[in-house]
A and B are shown apart, each in its own frame.
Chain A
Amino acid sequence: MSAGRAAHPRGVCGTCARFIADRPAIEAAIPTLAIFGSAYASVAWDDGLCGRWDAMRSPRDTCEAYCLDPIAAQGEGATPTPGAVSK
């Protein structure tokens, strides 16, 4: 049942501090998503929400704004920040 993928290497969105992979956080950020759909569904694959660009991203994407430091990521006015949408 496992997708069987390896951990995302450094430098891709999946390891970026701004990448929101948390399913409840994604549903909280897009409330209409969970009415007739779900962030836990197969169709969502492993997409996450980018706090820098405020857009969906694949964890395998790359970006010039890559950031490993969660504090720095929050300080740059990311919208939404991982902490802000996961409450």
Chain B
Amino acid sequence: MTKAPSRRFVSGLALEDWWAVVIGLFLVAIGCLVFRAGMSLADVTATPQSWTSLAELRDQLTGDVSRYLVVGCTFLLLFTAAASGLGLRPFRFALAFVILLALAFVTLLIAAWIPVWRVGMGSPIIALCLGAILGNLIALPSWIKEGLRAELYIKTGVVLLGATLPLPLLQLAGPIAIFQASAIALATFATIYGVARFLGVNRQLSAMLAAGGSVCGVSATIAVAGAVRARREDISIATTMVVAWSLGMIILLPLLARAWYLPAGPAGAWIGSSEYADAAGFAAVQVYNGLLRGAPLMGSADQALWAFTLIKVIGRDMWIGVWATAVSVYAMLRWQTAEGGRLAPEQIWYRFPKFIIGFVVASTLIAWTSHAISVADYNHILGPRLIGPLAALRELTFSLSFLSIGASMRLRSLMPVGGNAFIAFATGVVVNLVLGFILSAVIFQDHWNGLNR
């Protein structure tokens, strides 16, 4: 048992979201201050460079070992503090984290090996596969599980992502992202819920499937599960459905985007509209960016990532609390599910994914640091000396997340789902894909194509 009495987790210190904000903003703030002082985070952080031979790799590692150690120790301290705040056992977490961190560096090094790099297999897919192999084929000791906090790592990565997303872009493209994501979410929610109810699926499971398939994957499923007082078995079915489709979409969406020659902006927006989990979406964008290298496609890797982030984080994640409240109001008025339950509009705030605050603040901090800098200096000085190192730290947190996801994904724990729930969800997937494609690649094509400008 961990030390987590019932009232403990209402405190912000026991929420992963706030720890992700603290860790992410700490790194961004340090980066900005160091830059303002005329130095650079690049002096103490390292990113694996592409390599072709073992001799080349050895030279690279020998030269960068001290910088890798600085990054490793900093991450170890920050994330162990977070683990302690969450009520996990810090010593066990630290042990597990050291192993995870070493594996994350290994995945980044593998992804930088030229033959792998040419295939376009980014570090997320490598980390996911490595984690899945370790989690399913090897009996991992129980203390390792203490370090598998995929959401903590991915949320920290999203905060760091804010530092690489220009604030003006957030202001200009945010409203369209919200409009597009909301339109798709409403249509998909209505489709899944309607089909599921028509096929006789119970109301709570229908609502969770609809939220998971339209709003934001497992996070929305969790939020709605609490709002409608869902049964444990139904939660397992809904989360399994979301996990299975999310994994499939990591490969399917980039391949379709590549096959249909979608430019980077619309492809990123489409992935943001149609992927269910943040982590899975980032992996899909990385796969697309890998495919982008050898293809005559228009746009940049940044453009795909920005479009994805705007749709997913600003357009979808931000509204989880609103959806949960709306569903709980509907449940209260129409189903009378929870005996003694009551409406709780305050959940709009309490269920709000707080890491989005960190994401926006990170973008603002970078805007503040770069406000007096010309575009040329931004590209040639700020980029390599501040944005680049923060992007490297982001990639490391994503690798930690994908390793955790792979290792947590025990095939035996997935519920056998099928029948009507599957049909309802699959129908919603089709509606989501088609609508997402029309809005991303047809109606708002120019908008998403113009993100670089």
Contact = CB atoms under 8 A, between A and B. Distances in A.
Given A30-B235, A54-B232, A60-B342, A21 B320 contact: no
A43 B324 contact: yes
Interface in A46-64: 46-49, 53-64
B226 A58 contact: yes
A22 B222 contact: no
Interface of B: 1-2, 4-7, 9-18, 86-88, 148-152, 217-223, 225-226, 229-233, 235-236, 239-240, 242-243, 246, 276-277, 279-280, 320-321, 324, 338-342, 344, 347, 350-354, 405, 408-410, 413-415
Contacts of A54: 231-233
Contact of A32 (B340, B353, B415): B415
B358 to A, nearest CB: 12
A22 to B, nearest CB: 5
Interface of A: 1-3, 5, 7-8, 12, 14, 19, 21-25, 29-49, 53-64, 80, 86
A77 B31 CA distance: 55
B341 A41 contact: no
Given A7-B7, A58-B226, 18 more contacts: A21-B9, A24-B2, A31-B236, A33-B222, A34-B151, A35-B408, A36-B243, A37-B151, A37-B217, A37-B219, A38-B152, A40-B9, A43-B353, A47-B226, A54-B231, A54-B233, A56-B235, A61-B338
A33 to B, nearest CB: 6
Contacts, number: 185
Nearest to A79: B232
A36 B239 CA distance: 9
Main secondary structure of the interface of A (DSSP, over half): loop
Contacts of B220: 43
Contacts of B5: 21
Contact of B229 (A21, A34, A61): A61
A35 B247 CA distance: 11
A36 B217 contact: yes
Given A42-B351, A42-B354, A55 B150 contact: no
Contacts of B221: 37
A29 B221 CA distance: 16
Contacts of A45: 223, 226, 347, 350-351
A25 B59 CA distance: 46
B236 A30 contact: yes
A42 B350 contact: yes
Contacts of A55: 229-232
B223 A44 contact: yes
Given A3-B350, A30-B235, A63-B339, A56 B415 contact: no
Nearest to A54: B232
Contacts of A43: 219-220, 222-223, 320-321, 324, 351, 353
13 contacts: A8-B7, A12-B340, A19-B6, A24-B1, A24-B2, A33-B218, A33-B239, A36-B151, A37-B218, A42-B17, A43-B222, A57-B229, A58-B341
